[in-house]
Amino acid sequence: MSNIKPAVTDEMLSAYLDGMLDGDDMRAVEHAMEKDPQSTRRLARMIRNDRLLRARFHAVSRRPVPEPISALLEPAAEPDHSWWTSLVGDVFRGGALPGLARLAGITAVVAVLGIGVMTLPDRGTGPNEGRTDTSVADALPSTNPELSRLLDRQPSGELVTFGNGTLARIELSFEHAEGRYCRQYRVAHQGESTSFAVVACRLGTDWQEVLLQRIDAPLADSGQFHAASGPDSSVLDSYIVEHMAGDIMVGDSEVELIRRDWSKP
């Protein structure tokens, strides 16, 4: 058995993902990962495990109190639904899960904007009056050509500024269980204290948004790889965990996928 320790330990990677390293240590980890593809793969596994745990505990936290205890506290307990069904059911009055949530022909977006779930306009129909604004439109590849081009060519991690001052950073890529490739990214206007976290998937040669969630945090240029969207992004995290095939793509695997123009090997 080899006693050689990896240049980047799991503790260092965990601190890196949590934003707990100072500038010098952060750059040292990034430099080491550039020379060690195995560290990049370990990072991807840690991201995936983080999302699995977050989705699991979020679902558990929404389960009703056991009936004997509930009977002592309140006359009635909530029905036992998964977090996803409950979330959508609040809006669609208990109806079936929309087809877009299963990515079976995406034509719309479910957006969690702090006031519930809303459906954004279909591709090509223009914004619904009073329901979207410039900030949301800038966050969607179907209404922002610059963003669509960015999703095509930009590796994860780098903060990019568009011509109108909008900031964007792609956070990760993954393969959907149905075979298409998807990316999670963040978008914000300069100086704003909130940002939008979005999942978009490639359909043919175009990118189509799937989920959009407002995050109560600015999009800062920290120079750090941002893989997890944070505790406020449970909807996106759970969606990725439920629909992802294999590991999250970062580093060389993502760069190679971009080089192949998002085609399978």
pLDDT at 82: 41
DSSP 81-133: --HHHHHHHHHHTTPPPPGGGGTSS---EEEE-SS-EEEEPPTTS-PPTTT--
| Residues ≥6 apart with Cβ < 8 Å to 50 | 17, 227, 228
- Taking the C-alpha atoms of residue 243 and residue 2, their distance in angstroms, rounded to an integer, is 37
- Sequence ranges of the domains in the chain: 80-259
Using 50 as the pLDDT threshold, list the residues of the chain that sit under it.
Answer: 1-5, 69-70, 72-73, 75-132, 222-229
pLDDT at 99: 37
pLDDT at 106: 31
Give pLDDT tens digits for 181-201.
999 999 998 888 888 889 999
Cα radius of gyration (the chain): 20
Q: What is the pTM of this model?
A: 0.56
DSSP letter at 171?
Answer: E
- Taking the C-alpha atoms of residue 47 and residue 237, their distance in angstroms, rounded to an integer, is 10
| Residues ≥6 apart with Cβ < 8 Å to 245 | 174, 175, 176, 177, 179
- Taking the C-alpha atoms of residue 44 and residue 251, their distance in angstroms, rounded to an integer, is 9
Measured CA to CA in angstroms, residue 72 lies from 5, 33, 61, 68 at distances of 54, 54, 20, 7
- Taking the C-alpha atoms of residue 44 and residue 49, their distance in angstroms, rounded to an integer, is 9
DSSP 224-263: S------GGGHHHHHHHHHHEEEEEE-THHHHHHHHTTT-
